[in-house]
A = this chain, B = another copy of it.
Amino acid sequence: MVQLGPNRYGKAETHVVHVARGGAPDGGDLVTDRTVSTSLSGELAATHLTGDNSAVLATDTQKNTAFVFAKTLGAVPAEAYALALAEHFVSTQQPITRARVHVAEASWTRSGAHSFCRSGAATRTTTVVLDADLGASVVSGVEDLVVLNTTNSEFWGFPRDEYTTLAETKDRILATEVSARWRYRGVDVEWTDAYGAARAALADAFADTYSYSLQQTLFAIGTRIVESVPDICEVRLALPNKHHFLVDLAPFGLSNDNEVYWAADRPYGLIEGTVLADDAPPEGLAWV
C-alpha cells in the first residue's frame, strides 16, 4: 500500500515586466523585470487520488495573480511583492495552507529617459515561504555573479593519497560564479537596503580575502554578510571553482609567469557551505 507524501504545485517562470512611468526621481521610467514562480501546498490529496480539483487553484490563475499584483503593488521590492502574493494565496484559498513564491529579478541600467540596457552581472533572487501555522520566512540572494581574483590565492597542504597528482600552488587565479542565499530574521526589513548591503559585503569579502582555499573564501563571504546586515541570520553559498589552469608553455621555449590560463568548463570544484549567526532563529520552512 502507498500513501501520498509532501507535494506542491504551481506556475513556474511567469516573466512579469512592470514599467513605472515617470517613477524615477528624475522623471524617467523604472523597469522591474521579474520571473515569478509560485507553488501551493495544503489539502490536496483529492486531486492526487481521484482527480477532484475542487481545491486546486489553477496554475493559470496563479499566473494571472502574479500579473495583477505587479499592477496593484507597482515597483515594490521583490520581497514585498512575494510576501503579498504568498499571503494572498494562503488567506483566500481555504485548502491552501502554504505558499512558496520565488522571484528572479534581472537588473536594467537606465541609458535615457525611457531607454534601458540589461545588466547581466547578477540576478537578484528571493524566496518567500508563508505557512498558515508557521508564518513567513524570507530568503534572498544573488545568482550569476562571476568574480575573479588574479592573485592572493594559494592551495597547498592537502592530503596526498594514492590518487593525488595535483601540485601545490602558492599563487593561483581564484574565480567563481557566486550563488548566495541569505535568510532574514523577519519580514520587517528595508529590503532594498539590505540587498545592497549584502551584495556589497559579498563583493568586498571576495576581493579582500587572502585565500588558502575556496572554503575559506566562502566562510569569509558568509561571515561578512551576516556581520554587515543585522537583519540577516544565515547565509548559504554554492561556489563553483571556475578553474583557470596555467598553460604549460615550456615546450615552446616560453615561460608562463602567471600570465596565460586555460579557463576550463568541466569538471569543476563545487564548494557549498552555510554560515550562521550564533543567535540565528530556527530555520523553519525557509529553505524548502
Interface of A toward B, CB cutoff 8 Å: 1-21, 29, 31, 33, 35, 37, 39, 44, 47-61, 63-65, 67-68, 70-72, 74, 92-93, 108-109, 111-112, 114-122, 144-152, 154-159, 161-166, 173, 203, 206-208, 211-216, 218-219, 222-223, 226-227, 234, 236, 240-241, 244, 247, 249, 251-252, 254, 256, 258-278
Contacts and interface: CB of A to CB of B under 8 A. Distances in A.
A270 B10 contact: yes
Contact of A163 (B1, B115, B236, B252): B252
Looking at chain A's contact residues, is the secondary structure mostly helix, strand, loop, or mixed? mixed
25 contacts: A3-B276, A4-B276, A9-B272, A9-B273, A12-B268, A12-B269, A12-B270, A14-B262, A15-B264, A17-B263, A18-B259, A19-B173, A51-B154, A51-B215, A53-B158, A60-B165, A64-B252, A68-B163, A68-B252, A74-B259, A111-B203, A115-B207, A116-B150, A117-B146, A117-B148
Contacts of A64: 163-165, 252
A217 to B, nearest CB: 9
Ranked 10 nearest A-B pairs via Cβ = A120-B120, A51-B212, A5-B274, A7-B273, A115-B207, A118-B146, A112-B207, A48-B219, A60-B166, A59-B269
Contacts of A39: 270, 272
A234 B5 CA distance: 9
Given A17-B261, A252-B163, A9 B269 contact: yes
Q: How many monomers of this protein are in the complex? A: 4
Contact of A47 (B65, B111, B215): B215
A64 B267 CA distance: 11
A11 B114 contact: no
